[in-house]
Chains A and B, each alone.
Chain A
Amino acid sequence: MSEVIIENVTKKFGKNVVLDNINLKIDAKEFFVLLGPSGSGKTTLLRLIAGLEEITSGSIYIGGRKVNNMSPKERNVAMVFQNYALYPHMNVYENIALPLKVRHLSDDQVREKVKSISAVLHIEDILDKKPGQISGGQQQRVALARALVRDPSVFLLDEPLSNLDAKLRVEARVFLKKLQKEVGITTIFVTHDQAEALTMATKIAVLNKGVITQVGDPYELYRRPNDIFTAGFVGSPAMNMMRGKIRRSYSGSGWMFVNDDISLDLNGIEPNGEEREIFMGIRPEHIKLVESGSGGIDSTVFAVEPLGSVTYITVNVGKTQLILQHLGEIKLDVGSSIKIQLDLNSLLFYDVTSGKRLSTN
């Protein structure tokens, strides 16, 4: 079985703490994504699992074995690097064959395995070419072939899609996800692109500054981000965040949200805890335009971004700026006044000091 357990792992470079007490459990055959901005430590964590860096403290287990002191070869992991790291002086066949030759397989066995993985990845026709002679997409598939040809227990990928152009990236996402399911291998995928994480992962761990902020499946992370960093990082366009106070409403029953620009009755939603300063978050798709006359919040149009199937409208409510998502096309003049309404059931509340989400009833 090839599950990966990361136990209390800390990594320091000199005095610099890059990873702080990480604990993760990655199940066998899972497509696990490490998501985070640059400098969050996600690539370092991947390299620790691979064995390319040494752990400062803590342990890593692969398939039940403690691998702290094992070389990458002994760990039986395979890795695809961001720049693919193909051997430039060897042709595609030799690139894929090398890991097998090192393990002293016979020429016939090598040929068989290389041919079969090349078929899976549709690269049979470029086996005699050198990496410099093939396209980026083809290079990526060669890198995948080289990694998978030896049936590793864990498959590690370090931002393998960032070097592809946008269209190819979308195709590669679908391809990789299908491939992983077909081959059935435990996969750990590092990216800073939240769209990649959401579309491909069975589970995501969000990292920020060396610490895990949340672990969960894509839906959980999107609907119930546990802290303000995750809320702002997952989802594009980013979640709207309004700073203000939650307090009991003037009438005595129920709560309300108040800041300099907005005074919103929460109507039955009850955040747990006392009155306090918070960030109130709402995703663009949960803000609607409403006809004038039926209540709603007054706002001024700041920008309109038509994307064909959807239009993003940025509005100003006093000093607060919000983005809302409108399905389809709409013609609006910048500077015009419109009314918006927030879906109260989709509101998320985050404590200003701790950044943690407040649960609601």
Chain B
Amino acid sequence: MKIKITSIIVLIILAIVSLIYLFPIYWTLVTALKNSLQIFTYPPIFFPTKITLSNFYTPGNVFGAVSQTAVGSIPWMIDSTIVAIIATLLSTILIAAPAAYSLVRYIKSIWFGRLILFMTMIPEAVFVVPFFLIVAKINLLNTWWGLIIVYISFTAPFATWLLMGFFNDIPKSVEEAAQIDGLSPFQIFYKISLRLVTPGIIAALVLNFISCWNELLYALVITYSPFPSGAQTVPIFLTSFIIVEKSFAWGGLAAAGIFTMLPTIILGIFAQKYLARGLTMGAVKG
């Protein structure tokens, strides 16, 4: 009997926590499906009986002003997708994986790992001006590569730290067996060790993609127009809903929010089990 009570309590707590996390998404979805009248009604409507899709493709009309639509987000989506994919792939596979492997197997210093972890904790604002100056100097402002370079600066250390835990878990004897079988150090890394940390790589790829996708501060500073002339990303697009004749275009914002949330949600669902391992791995190691 005792067991049943604790598991019920746990279930209730989990339900409450899930509600807290999921409610904002639900509210955004519901708002996206309401017309402006319903949005401003008080008390708030939690379960609308009438829904509309106009927020997704019709320019919103708030207090007489015209705002963007969800579908209008596509140029920004293109920028975000390209920048996020390239930055994530380069930082995770080209930089983080070899770095993590050599740190774990060759350099073997705990302090280096801790230093890298520390780097991921530094607030973005610290680097905004330096990054702007650097990117401007090399003439990459408002370009994909300008953003990609900046994004690699925070995705690479994070992925390195995450992968260090995974590489550490590989029993040394497997790599020694490969050594005796005649593989060169690079072959051991590429054919054996890298294959054995796939969950970690996927976790790193997904988490990095999401952080690139959601990144606002650096993008604001480094870009000023969307595809095809520039490289403005989705978070910037969403800010255009903020000031519309001294008010928020709630409906349009919600719709755009849902629309631009989709890639990351889909990724997250796909990589669910890898993410769980990836995050708890990080918590135990470090």
Q: Which residues of A contact B (CB under 8 A)?
A: 50-52, 71-73, 77-79, 81-83, 85-89, 98-99, 102-103, 146
**A52–B174 touching, CB < 8 Å:** no
Residues of A within 8 A of B173 (CB): 81-83, 85
**A73–B179 touching, CB < 8 Å:** yes
**B171–A87 touching, CB < 8 Å:** no
For window 166-190 of B, CB contacts with A under 8 Å fall at 171, 173-174, 176-183, 187
- In whole angstroms, what is the CA distance A103 to B184 when docked? 11
Given the known A-B contacts A81-B173, A85-B174, A88-B196, are A72 and B180 also in contact in the complex, defined by CB atoms under 8 Å?
yes
**B180–A50 touching, CB < 8 Å:** yes
**A204 CB to closest chain B CB, in angstroms?**
24
- In whole angstroms, what is the CA distance A341 to B63 when docked? 113
Is B108's beta carbon under 8 Å from chain A?
no
**A89–B195 touching, CB < 8 Å:** yes
**B180–A102 touching, CB < 8 Å:** no
**A98 CB to closest chain B CB, in angstroms?**
6
- In whole angstroms, what is the CA distance A50 to B177 when docked? 10
**A279 CB to closest chain B CB, in angstroms?**
40
**B195–A102 touching, CB < 8 Å:** no
Q: Which of A73, A88, A103 contacts B180 (CB 8 A)?
A: A73
- In whole angstroms, what is the CA distance A86 to B171 when docked? 10
Given the known A-B contacts A79-B177, A85-B174, are A102 and B196 also in contact in the complex, defined by CB atoms under 8 Å?
no
Residues of B within 8 A of A50 (CB): 180
Q: List 22 A-B contacts (CB under 8 A).
A: A52-B180, A72-B180, A72-B182, A73-B181, A77-B180, A79-B177, A81-B176, A81-B177, A82-B173, A83-B171, A85-B171, A85-B174, A85-B177, A86-B174, A87-B174, A88-B174, A89-B195, A98-B191, A102-B181, A103-B182, A146-B177, A146-B181
Given the known A-B contacts A98-B181, A99-B182, A102-B182, are A87 and B192 also in contact in the complex, defined by CB atoms under 8 Å?
yes
**B174–A102 touching, CB < 8 Å:** no
- In whole angstroms, what is the CA distance A146 to B181 when docked? 9
**A52–B181 touching, CB < 8 Å:** no
Residues of A within 8 A of B195 (CB): 89
- In whole angstroms, what is the CA distance A87 to B196 when docked? 9
- Chain B 33-56 near chain A by CB (<8 Å), digits 1 or 0: 000000000000000000000000
- In whole angstroms, what is the CA distance A83 to B170 when docked? 13
- Chain B 154-168 near chain A by CB (<8 Å), digits 1 or 0: 000000000000000
Residues of B within 8 A of A51 (CB): 180
**A52–B179 touching, CB < 8 Å:** yes
**A128 CB to closest chain B CB, in angstroms?**
18
**A131 CB to closest chain B CB, in angstroms?**
10
Residues of B within 8 A of A89 (CB): 192, 195-196
Closest-by-CB residue of B relative to A74 is B182
**A72–B192 touching, CB < 8 Å:** no
Residues of B within 8 A of A103 (CB): 182
Q: Which of B180, B187, B195: most chain A Cβ within 10 A?
A: B180
Residues of B within 8 A of A72 (CB): 179-180, 182
Residues of B within 8 A of A88 (CB): 174, 196
**A53 CB to closest chain B CB, in angstroms?**
10
Given the known A-B contacts A98-B181, A103-B182, are A85 and B176 also in contact in the complex, defined by CB atoms under 8 Å?
yes
- Chain B 121-140 near chain A by CB (<8 Å), digits 1 or 0: 00000000000000000000
- 10 extra interchain contacts, Cβ-Cβ under 8 A, other than A52-B179, A72-B179, A85-B176? A50-B180, A79-B177, A81-B176, A88-B196, A89-B192, A98-B181, A102-B181, A102-B182, A103-B182, A146-B177
- In whole angstroms, what is the CA distance A31 to B192 when docked? 32
Closest-by-CB residue of B relative to A99 is B181
**B206 CB to closest chain A CB, in angstroms?**
21
